């Protein structure tokens, strides 16, 4: 998987149990993921269509460093599906532990918001996913 973004869990990101608020994690993931698919698809016009199961595997605490990784899983006509994993990064040991996983579908849209095909030259870079 490719590193997409790194975030620091700040005090204002915590929920009632002093864990990172789940909605904030989803926001970090969505932002990192859309930037990734914009780059992969050579288009600034990609919208989030669907998030599959989101698994919050273990809690994130204040000051934890969270690295978000992504990998292209599949292409459709106008869609791209990516696997995303957020990992807690231990700055002392440099070990990483998975804290959240999901799979997201994005759609390429035109200026009117309608789905349009992802360019062929993009898909041609991923022959194993055809």
Ligand X SMILES: CC(C)(COP(=O)(O)OP(=O)(O)OC[C@H]1O[C@@H](n2cnc3c(N)ncnc32)[C@H](O)[C@@H]1OP(=O)(O)O)[C@@H](O)C(=O)NCCC(=O)NCCS
Torsion over CA of 4, 71, 78 and 48, rounded to 10 degrees? -50
In the complex, minimum distance from the CB of residue 23 to ligand X, in angstroms, rounded to a whole number: 14
Complex with ligand X: residue 47 or 129, whichever CB lies closer: 47
The one segment of 4-12, 20-28, 63-71, 101-109 that binds ligand X by CB under 6 A: 101-109
Residue from the set 7, 79, 101, 102 that interacts with ligand X by CB under 6 A:
79
In the complex, minimum distance from the CB of residue 74 to ligand X, in angstroms, rounded to a whole number: 9
Site for ligand X in 1-60 (CB under 6 A): 47-50
- Residue closest to ligand X, measured at CB: 76
Residue from the set 5, 54, 73, 109 that interacts with ligand X by CB under 6 A:
109
Pairing mode of beta strands 96-108, 55-56: antiparallel
Q: How many CB atoms lie within 10 A of CB 116?
A: 15
Q: How many CB atoms lie within 10 A of CB 89?
A: 14
The one segment of 21-29, 59-67, 83-91, 103-111 that binds ligand X by CB under 6 A: 103-111
Q: H helices then E strands: how many in the chain?
A: 2, 6
- DSSP classification of residue 23: H
In the complex, minimum distance from the CB of residue 63 to ligand X, in angstroms, rounded to a whole number: 30
In the complex, minimum distance from the CB of residue 108 to ligand X, in angstroms, rounded to a whole number: 8
Of the candidates 80, 59, 63, which has an alpha carbon nearest to the alpha carbon of residue 71? 80
């Amino acid at each position: 998987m490719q590193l997409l973004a790194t975030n620091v869990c700040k005090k204002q990101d915590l929920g009632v149990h002093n864990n990172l608020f789940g909605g904030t994690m989803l926001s970090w993931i969505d932002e990192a993921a859309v930037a990734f698919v914009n780059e992969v698809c050579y288009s600034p016009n990609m919208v989030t269509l669907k998030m599959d199961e989101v698994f919050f595997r273990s809690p994130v605490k204040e000051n934890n460093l969270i690295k978000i990784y992504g990998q292209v899983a599949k292409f459709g006509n106008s869609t791209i599906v990516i696997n995303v994993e957020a990992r807690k990064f231990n700055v002392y040991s440099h070990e990483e532990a998975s804290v959240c996983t999901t799979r997201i579908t994005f759609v390429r849209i035109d200026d009117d918001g309608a789905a349009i095909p992802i360019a062929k030259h993009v898909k041609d870079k991923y022959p194993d996913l055809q």
